Amino acid sequence: MRPEIRGASLQVRGLSKTFGKQQVLHNLDLEIASGEFVAVVGRSGCGKSTLLRLLAGLEPPTTGGILINGETLRQINHSARVMFQDARLLMWRRVLENVGLGLRHNWQIKAQWALEQVGLADRAQEWPAVLSGGQRQRVALARALVSQPRLLLLDEPLGALDALTRIEMQRLISNIWQEQKFTALLITHDVEEAVALADRVVLIESGKVAMDFEITLSRPRHRGDAACAAIIEHIYERVLNPGATSKRNLLSLNTRSF
């Protein structure tokens, strides 16, 4: 099965979200083109997951709006799937059933295809309990991919994994994204991960987009390469210094030869 997937385009306009007296998102604007991979970084509590929930249609905005392919999002975003830090598998269902959950027609074939995408085709009949943490996250990724979403929303999906497994998963996500061309939004605390994967790194500060950094380096990216390392350092500096304006020529960071 070879999916024909085209990514959803996103336009976030003047988005605000208030919980009680706390305003979390302040008139936030963001555009993501079809098939783009955007990483979102920012300090804990700055509103990253809130933004993701709004994009998934799990919660309504207080004011402002979200357009998916030009249409206002009013309820659950059916073109999107979400993957979280914990795999959230049903331990009493086999791996294949976990992946195919909620599907009707040909669910076994579809679930088996998704498991192949993440390299776990041979574990289909096992119980989640016998899998490692990294393997469970791959099952969660398969579950997110099985319905061939046009928008994949990732909320720190690799945050609990060891460094090596994490890099393997980054490569897997990058390869699948390049092949299937869905739109991806990844929330991460790991700037290296953001730079390794994304076309743009967006920093949220005070409920707004405080930096939107385009990365044009070719893939696969290696964090040890000079240009990659320079961008990582630049973004770290900016994340750690709220409100700072960049003194560097951002374009030169991308084009510097290595």
Ligand X SMILES: Nc1ncnc2c1ncn2[C@@H]1O[C@H](COP(=O)(O)OP(=O)(O)OP(=O)(O)O)[C@@H](O)[C@H]1O
Task: For ligand X, give the closer residue by CB, 11 or 49.
Answer: 49
Task: Identify the bridge partners of residue 10 per DSSP, sorted by sequence position.
Answer: 32, 68
Q: Which of residues 40-69 bind ligand X (CB under 6 A)?
A: 42, 44-50
Of the pair 180, 188, the CB lying nearest Mg ion is at 188
Candidates 16, 49, 62, 165: give the one binding Mg ion (CB under 5 A).
49
Binding partner of 50, given ligand X, Mg ion, none, CB within 5-8 angstroms per partner class: ligand X
The C-alpha atoms of residue 250 and residue 242 are separated, in whole angstroms, by 18
Straight-line distance from the first to the last Cα atom of the chain, in angstroms, rounded to the nearest whole number: 39
Edge-to-edge strands, sheet with 22-32: 22-32, 10-19, 63-68, 71-72
Q: How far is the CB of 156 from Mg ion (least distance, A)?
A: 6
Q: How far is the CB of 252 from ligand X (least distance, A)?
A: 30
The item of ligand X, Mg ion, none sharing an interface with residue 47, based on CB under 5 to 8 Å by kind, is ligand X
Tell me how far CA of residue 178 lies from CA of 5, 79, 98, 173, in angstroms.
Answer: 11, 18, 25, 9
CB of 107 to Mg ion, least distance (A): 31
**φ and ψ at 200, to 5 degrees?**
-145, 140
Contact string (CB under 6 A) for ligand X, positions 6-45, x = contact: -------------x----x-----------------x-xx
Cβ nearer to Mg ion, comparing 114 with 155: 155
Please tell me the distance from the alpha carbon of residue 16 to that of residue 155, in angstroms, as a whole number.
Answer: 20
- Could you give the CA distance from residue 210 to residue 243 in angstroms, rounded to a whole number? 8
What is the amino acid identity at position 99? V
Give the total of residues touching ligand X (CB under 6 A). Answer: 10
Q: Which option in ligand X, Mg ion, none does residue 140 bind, with CB closer than 5 to 8 A by kind?
A: none
Residues interacting with ligand X, by CB under 6 A?
Answer: 19, 24, 42, 44-50
